[in-house]
Amino acid sequence: MQWEFAFADRNKTTLLLLWPFSASVPCVKLNVKRLKLQLTHLWAIARGSGSNTAETVMVELVGADGTVGWGEAAPISRYKESLDTVEAFLKKVDPRGLTFSDVEGSMSYLDTLSPHDMSAKCALNIALLDGAAKRAQKPIYDFLGLGFRENHHISSFTIGIDKPDMIRKKVLEAEQYPVLKMKLGVADDRINLQALREVAPVKTLRVDANEGWKTKEQALEMIEWLAKDGHIEFVEQPMPAATPVKDWVWLKARSPLPIFADESYHLAKDVPQVAECFHGANVKLVKTGGVSGGFEALSAARKAGLKTMLGCMIESSILISAAAHLAELCDHLDVDGNILISNDPYLGVTSSKGILSFAQAPEKFGLRVSPR
């Protein structure tokens, strides 16, 4: 599915009531298409059944001067978002509200269209920053004043829920990665962890329960069991986000391992409650509405004394590279979505042996992403 939006005459009075578009701001053209990503292995987490494919939505903004900005949306069904909701939002967008010269103003315009639709806004925000940084002839990490240290940032590699024999196979294939992340939160948690440890007995491991443990007592029991492993760094989202604050506070005070918010942390405004309930926060660009919101969410979490982590969905190198530009704000990284697929259409950040690098990226500015 693909379409283009370009300037068209409309009722000017209506447009002015929606947003004060400036006649002096050049119009961009917005192109949209779906990407079907093929997973190397069946992918499953505690919330749902497995799949061999994932679909995202790629957007392309083309400026009047020929500058091209790329972005990507990986909608999360947990937040009632889908490919259809992303495309429906994008159809509402009047390109005259978007400009590489005013990313903040462009995002303010998008907020007038919907208070939600964060993955769609994420795609446009990344594309806007890509174009703006290209015009400035800087990578996004320099455009934001962060920088990026080569051979410094290490991402984990995720092992999804599967049968024990497939878990062992996946762990063997991931031998080059020094840090693993394991999806738990199902009845076979203990069997699955045992299978992983049969292959990698002492490798550093992170655990993501994806809201799978339903009570504070069950969560504490499972975390105490995990702590005996001796090589587990932390546990993500052990209980549902809707769990009462008092139960989170109870668990935080007793947990022998740090607990990180994922589904409980979306935007910078969530920090006060997250700091009360967790030791750290996992930020995803599709939750924050893009790099700009991710920058704010990570900065706010750090200021509140929380450990910071940057995560991802199954994504192409557009979204993964966008996340990598924020690496300097993170204590931990889990940006492996593009290495879990076999047909990534783009070249950007690489993660050989888990180490993030832009050294081989052909593009020097913006996202530092180019088509294969």
- Write out the DSSP string of 338-361: GGSBS---EE--B-GGGB-B-TT-
C-alpha distances in angstroms, 240 versus 78, 248, 258? 11, 10, 17
In this structure, are 171 and 216 located in the same domain?
A: yes
Number of residues in the chain: 372
pLDDT at 109 over 90: yes
* pLDDT tens digits along 347-368: 999 999 999 999 999 999 999 9
Query: 250 and 363 share a domain?
Result: yes
Choose one of 140, 175, 200: the last residue of a domain: 140
Secondary structure element (H or E) that encloses residue 128, with its range: helix 118-135
Instruction: Let me know whether 71 and 91 are in one domain.
Output: yes
Same-domain status, 23 and 80: yes
Shared domain for 101 and 249, answered yes or no, is no
Residue 217 shares a structural domain with residue 355: yes
pLDDT in tens, 229-238: 999 999 999 9
What's the structural domain count of the chain?
2
The parent domain of residue 176 ranges over 143-371
pLDDT at 43 over 80: no
Domain boundary among 97, 114, 140: 140
**Same domain for 330 and 361?**
yes
Q: Do 130 and 158 have their domain in common?
A: no
Is a pLDDT exceeding 50 seen at residue 61?
Answer: yes
Given 92, 112, 140, which residue is the final one in a domain? Answer: 140
- Residue 305 DSSP one-character state: T
Give the pLDDT confidence of 284-307 residue by residue, as tens digits. Answer: 999 999 999 999 999 999 999 999
Q: Is the pLDDT of residue 316 over 90?
A: yes
Residue 308 has pLDDT above 70, yes or no: yes
Instruction: State the DSSP code for 51.
Output: E
> Checking DSSP bridges between strand 2-5 and strand 51-62, what pairing results, if any?
unpaired
Q: Which residues contact 115 (CB under 8 A, 6 or more apart)?
A: none
Same-domain pairing of 186 and 132:
no
Residue 76 sits at φ, ψ, to 5 deg, of -110, 120
On whether both 55 and 78 belong to a single domain, the answer is yes
**18 and 72 part of one domain:** yes
Q: Supply the pLDDT for residue 151.
A: 92
Q: How do residues 120-176 score in pLDDT, each as one tens digit?
A: 999 999 999 999 999 999 999 999 999 999 999 999 999 999 999 999 999 999 999
pTM of this prediction? Answer: 0.91
